[in-house]
Amino acid sequence: MARLRSQSWCILCAVTAMTVAALTMFLIGQPTANAQDKKAVSFINDVAPIFKESCFACHDAKKRNGKLDMTTFEKLREGGANGDPIVEGKADESELYTLLVTHERRRMPPRDKGEAVAPAKAALIARWINEGAKLDPDIDPKADLVKELRVRWRPPVPPLAYKFPVIINAMTFTPDDKQLVIGGHHELTVWDIETGKLVKRIRTRAERAYALAFAPDGKLVMAGGRPGQEGDVRVFDLNAPPAQVVDGVAMLNGVDDPKVMLKQLVDTEDSMLCLAISPDGRRLAASGCDRIVRVWDISQGVVQARLEQTIENHADWVFALAFSGDGKLLASAGRDKTAKVWDLESKESILTFPDHQAPVYGVTLSADGKLGTSAGADRNLRRWNAVNQAKQVKAIGGHGDEIFRLVAHPKQPLLVTASADKTVRLWDANSGNNLKTLQGLNDHVYAAAISANGQLVAGGGYDGEVRVWNVADGKVIRAFNASPGYAGSSVQAPKQ
Ligand code: HEC
């Protein structure tokens, strides 16, 4: 009995002690959880990500609300109108912390503009200030923190089997027309067309691939990124020796293995969405959310790409690029509802085609560069004069919904469109006539590709399903889901 009583006293005692401790913590503003955590708070790993998430939108070099730029450590310490917002060792006297937890009107982010910083995150910032507000030793105080965070970010390893179907945004045939390379989640996957089987997986830093094309030297160029975080154009060698082979599937590391990931051509702050290689194989162009079109000379091989010019001609994201047959003109299309043609030699804009009045997702130029074709959210394929004035020649309907992709065969007069209406259509590039409507997909089609020999067309989109059709008769010759190991696929794993 006595024992029991003393035990219950002890429990009571512990509870009381804990309550007192919690109350004390509450009063002095120290979080219980972090108090036991011995490791010092790192500015770059713990604090800067919170600033990026909640503060940089208003406190970067451009916006500087309150005259405060927080995107370098040095600028942060210079502070804004009120000077250095940090009193080292004293979070409660530092505006950088007090403004986050204040119950008064003036809070950061401003009450009418955003959610308060979560208490655990604010506590972490307090701890960092109380520990002396130190910058990690390997970081230059002048370093751009957005860039530092990007460099430190590590891509996840894709799962062996996908739980959800991947959204396909890009695909291309291998130069021998035997396989399809398809954008997965932080990887590219390679599928054998004959068998419909997965043969290779290549890890990528990019979460998504938005455009894929083989350069004349057989290297694969990918434009992609992580939405709102980073974008890049990279060159891969898919024939490099695999790091391992799992169940007959060659696994390549396109993140760290320099034999696989040969070169990064750009590093931007949002996704790269499109690329094009000139028919003579001498030039590569790429663009995306930053609106800037970059053109490289790749005549010495794509790894030796040399930046030739950067073009700022669109007011919004650039969705598509295409060279003329002689490689002298470059057409572009974008979210600013226009298609444009740029003269690469005189380095000037030749014309703007405005008739879509909706985002333009695809563009091509005829071999002689005189006829432009574009397609987009207005559901129309529009053909227009690409010399002198951008006069519309013809608007061609047919698709019942937005057209997301327009692909032209580099030599044959064949155009392919992919649409939200779940179909892929073939068009005669000379007459503009619809040749065939390819059925068999059951969701939005975002990606399409034509084989080098012009005999096959592939499409895929929102549900990860892929169809390969014969151009000659429009029949499906292969069907699979491009999500590795995905059990929900009707094609790969038929229900018993
Ligand atoms: C939606 C825009 C917005 C966001 C997001 C925002 N701020 Fe501010 N911030 C302002 C404005 C406007 C001012 C100037 C008015 C003021 O001082 O109250 C300001 C001022 C400040 C100041 C005072 C600068 C000085 O010297 O006067 C500090 C410190 C500050 N913000 C920190 C932060 C932190 C930390 C975050 C992120 C947790 C943040 N802000 C997020 C708009 C924003």
Radius of gyration of the chain (CA): 28
Q: Is the CB of 109 under 6 A from ligand 1?
A: yes
- Report whether pLDDT(33) > 60: no
CB 122 less than 6 A from any atom of ligand 1: no
pLDDT tens-digit readout, 278-301: 999 999 999 999 999 999 999 999
Q: Please name which of 364, 361, 434 lies closest in space to residue 402, comparing C-alpha atoms.
A: 361
| 81-103 pLDDT per residue, tens | 999 999 999 999 999 999 999 99
Whole-number Å distance between alpha carbons of 10 and 249: 61
Q: CB of 114 closer than 6 A to ligand 1?
A: yes
Band of pLDDT at residue 487, cut at 50, 70 and 90: confident
CA of 66 to the centre of ligand 1 (A): 6
Output DSSP code: residue 41.
Answer: P
With 70 as the cut, is the pLDDT of residue 228 above it?
A: yes
Atom of ligand 1 nearest to the CA of 83: 26
Q: In terms of Cα–Cα distance, which of 350, 211, 336 is closest to 284? A: 211
Nearest atom, ligand 1, residue 113 CA? 1
- How far is CA 184 from each of CA 108, 168, 287, 344, 449, rounded to the nearest angstrom? 38, 7, 20, 33, 16
Taking the centre of ligand 1 as the mean of its atom positions, its distance from the CA of residue 96, in whole angstroms, is 9
The answer to whether residue 352 scores a pLDDT higher than 70 is yes
108 pocket-lining for ligand 1 (C-beta < 6 Å)? yes
Two tokens, residue 329: 């003109």
Residue 1 has pLDDT above 50, yes or no: no
Ligand 1 binding pocket mutation candidate from 65, 78, 105 (most atoms within 8 A of CB): 65
Mutate to test the pocket of ligand 1, among 59, 75, 100, 129 (most ligand atoms within 8 A of CB): 59
How much is the pLDDT for 5? 37
Q: What is the C-alpha separation between 382 and 397, in angstroms, rounded?
A: 9
Task: Convert the pLDDT of each residue in 430-469 to its tens digit.
Answer: 999 999 999 999 999 999 999 999 999 999 999 999 999 9
pLDDT-based confidence at residue 37 (cuts at 50, 70, 90): low
Q: What's the 29 CA to ligand 1 centre distance in angstroms?
A: 21
- 94 CB within 6 A, ligand 1: no
Q: Is the pLDDT of residue 15 over 90?
A: no
Centre of ligand 1 to C-alpha 398, Å, is 52
- Give residue 109's pLDDT band: very low, low, confident or very high (50, 70, 90): very high
Alpha-carbon distances, residue 256 vs 37, 231, 304 (angstroms): 33, 17, 19
Taking residue 53's Cβ as centre, other Cβ atoms within 10 Å add up to 13
Predicted confidence (pLDDT) at residue 77 exceeds the cutoff of 80: yes
**Ligand 1 mean position, distance from CA 108 (Å):** 5
CA of 65 to the centre of ligand 1 (A): 6
Counting atoms of ligand 1 from 1, which one is nearest the CA of 57? 5
Helices (H) and strands (E) in the chain, counts: 7, 30
One-letter identity of residue 16? T
Residue of the nearest CA to atom 14 in ligand 1?
A: 66
- Rounded CA-CA distance 191/393 in Å is 40
| Span from the CA of 80 to the centroid of ligand 1 (angstroms) | 9
Mean pLDDT of 29-55: 78
Domains, the chain: 43-152 (no CATH), 171-481 (2.130.10.10)
Return the pLDDT at 18. 47
Q: Which among 119, 75, 81, 79 is positioned nearest to 100, based on CA atoms?
A: 119
Residues 367-387 have pLDDT tens digits of 899 999 999 999 999 999 998
Query: CA–CA separation, 384 vs 213, rounded Å?
Result: 26
CA of 106 to the centre of ligand 1 (A): 9
Which of 99, 102, 113 is the pocket-test mutation for ligand 1 (most atoms within 8 Å of CB)?
99
151 band by pLDDT with thresholds 50, 70 and 90: confident
pLDDT at 192: 98
CA distances from 461 to 130, 194, 275, 379 (A): 51, 21, 19, 17
**Would you say residue 31 has pLDDT above 90?**
no
Bond before 109 cis per omega within 30 degrees: yes
Contact by Cβ (8 Å): 122, 101: yes
In which band, very low, low, confident or very high, does the pLDDT at 389 lie, cut at 50, 70 and 90?
Answer: confident
| Mean pLDDT of the 416-429 span | 97
Q: What is the predicted pLDDT for the residue at 170? A: 98
Mean residue pLDDT across the chain: 91
pTM of the model: 0.82
Can you name the residues that pair with 414 across neighbouring β-strands? 428
- Closest ligand 1 atom to residue 50 Cα is 38
